[in-house]
Amino acid sequence: MDGPSETDPLLRPAQVQGKVTDAASDVYSSLQDESNREVFDNVPDAKKQLGLASAVMLIFNRVIGTGVFASPSIILRSSGSVGMSFVMWILGALVASAGTAVYVEFGTGLPRSGAEKTYMEYIYRRPKFMTTCFYAIYGMLIGWLSGSSIVFGEYTLHAFAIQPTTINVRVVALLCMTFCLVMHGAFLNYGLKLQNALGFFKLFVLLIIAVSGLFSLAGVPGFAVRAGYDIPHNYRWSSFWEGSDIGLNAFVTGMYNVIWSFIGYSNANYALSEVRDPVRTIKRAAPFAMLLVTLAYIAVNVAYFGVVSKQDMLGGGTMAAALFFRNIFGPATERMLSAIIALSTLGNLLSILFAQGRVVQELGREGVLPFSSFFASNKPFHAPLAGLFAQWLISATTMVAAPPGDAYLFMVNLTSYPLAIFNLLISGGLLLLYTPAFKTYDWCPPFQAWKSVVVFFFLSNVFLAIVPMIPPSPGFDVYEHLPYWSHVVIALLIGLVGIIYWFVFFDWIPRKHGYRIVQETVLQDDGVSRKVLRRIPNEVANEELA
């Protein structure tokens, strides 16, 4: 018998209006509209504005931020040689490929927005509401935009030859975040077009770098390294592996940075309810986007090492892209490069806000947070303005409140570590779905990753979760004054706050007052479904069960 086609829904149909859902599995049933047409998430077709190109750029823009311009120098310092740098980049691409496969499997099996939130709720159903509360605290309290917005502010000021200061950088960063909020919150179509255009611009720039590097290696006139700069010999076999550091600590540090350079393959999954033909689209968009990312990283690294000597790359704190432009096009291109990096970061910010705004909206649709109807709304501009604003507010607060130095770097690390925890939980949960103990879940999505790939992704996130707890080597301290493990402890405490919130409001108080909490699915004015919570006295609930 043939397996399910790529357009067949995995989830079972259920009625929408007036349905009280007490069994966790009902939350993940697909829905039926009035025309008896089976849908995944009861989101009107008019709201599904993301096609294949938009989904690809949503991922590409999220992954490619500033790392492609700066990370090669960092990875070279960790690896010690050009050859080991390429080994690390290839290993990082394999981890990203495994992660992409895991998210495509979940995306085809549970084609609705929310990504990790949706997948963890599906797997970890007991105790009821605890998984949602655990994730909600991270979704509401971590400002995902703060780090990239600071980068945008710095490079924008560089592009205009203005001396960056703490104040003017943050003013520009705040204006940038506000611009992103307005575009995605009030002018959704134009915001998507701008986001896609910046993605294609970024791809074009990386293509120019790659081709220029190849021309330089081939000796094409006009692309030779300018006089006064070291001529690189990085691709001679004698120098390709020279200086390789095969020590465990150096390898761990390098791989940690490489793996994070590929993070973002899940970005389309956060907004899957707004993707046209989501099962078919995610199967194509995610692998294609990550293929573009991998080719870009490898090609750009080939170009950098073909134009910039190893000594220059290791010396000082100048990013690889700046050295590349200087060696071929001259030092006058520094401001142009700053403008390119600022535009690249703007595309990254737009994609992050677009996705994280949908996560907040999904949390609102679950009904477990105060003012859930407000966060679940698409008013007044047919976009999740409330969810986008929540992300803007916490990111702006984080950016303004964090002083320079350790506190700012601490916040950057704090936004990264929870992703490792979530990926660890969903990849481990996917392995559980394959076991006989979870046979009742009937997990058989249209796309299934190889089990060995899921195991590899699971182990890579064990690595990402443990590495920050290992004391760094001398000279490689994470912070100047804070303990190296501080962001790990705070990240875990945030999750603990979510569990305490669940215990107080969904377990202890209901038991004390003798009622149960159930969810009822209702439709908003815009046709999107959401859950509302109802308190049912225990005696009434027992009579209904009887």
pLDDT tens by residue, 217-272 = 999 988 999 988 888 999 998 889 998 877 777 788 788 888 888 999 999 999 99
User: Which segments of 434-526 does DSSP mark as H helices, in order?
Assistant: 451-466, 486-502, 509-513
Average pLDDT over residues 276-292: 95
Pick from 14-18, 212-216, 310-314, 531-535: least confident:
14-18
Average pLDDT over residues 316-331: 82
Whether 9 has a pLDDT exceeding 70, the answer reads: no
The share of the chain scoring above pLDDT 90, in percent, equals 55
| Structural domains in the chain, sorted by start | 49-513 (1.20.1740.10)
CA gap 488, 491 in Å, rounded:
5
pLDDT tens by residue, 387-418 = 999 999 999 998 887 776 666 677 778 888 89
Residue 11: predicted pLDDT:
41
pLDDT tens by residue, 345-355 = 999 999 999 99
Residue 88: predicted pLDDT:
93
- Retrieve residue 448's tokens: 């299934």
- Retrieve residue 378's tokens: 């698409």
Average pLDDT over residues 275-301: 95
Whether 38 has a pLDDT exceeding 70, the answer reads: no
Instruction: Band the pLDDT of 527: cuts 50, 70, 90.
Output: confident
Residue 18: predicted pLDDT:
42
Residue 522: predicted pLDDT:
86
Residue 80: predicted pLDDT:
87
Instruction: Band the pLDDT of 320: cuts 50, 70, 90.
Output: confident
Residue 7: predicted pLDDT:
36
- Retrieve residue 413's tokens: 């690390």
Residue 30: predicted pLDDT:
44
In terms of DSSP bridges, do strands 529-537 and 13-14 run parallel, antiparallel, or are they unpaired?
unpaired
- Supply φ then ψ for residue 517, to 5 degrees: -105, 125
- Retrieve residue 146's tokens: 């703060």
Pick from 28-37, 73-82, 511-520: least confident:
28-37
- Retrieve residue 105's tokens: 């499997």
Whether 502 has a pLDDT exceeding 80, the answer reads: yes
Give the CA angle between residues 156, 161, 167 to the nearest 5°.
60
Helix axes 486-502, 130-141, angle to 10 degrees: 130
Pick from 100-104, 118-122, 201-205, 412-416: least confident:
412-416
Please identify which residue in the block is written with the tokens 């999740």.
384
Cβ partners under 8 Å of residue 176, min gap 6: 149, 152, 153, 156, 346, 349
What is the pLDDT of the chain when averaged over all its residues? 86
pLDDT tens by residue, 52-86 = 999 999 999 999 987 788 788 888 888 889 999 99
> Which pTM does this prediction carry?
0.88
331 C-beta neighbours (distance < 10 Å), count: 12
pLDDT tens by residue, 129-169 = 999 999 999 988 888 888 889 889 989 999 998 998 888 99
Contact (CB, 8 A) for 345 and 155: yes
Q: How many CA atoms lie within 13 A of 204 on its CB side?
A: 8
Cβ partners under 8 Å of residue 462, min gap 6: 424
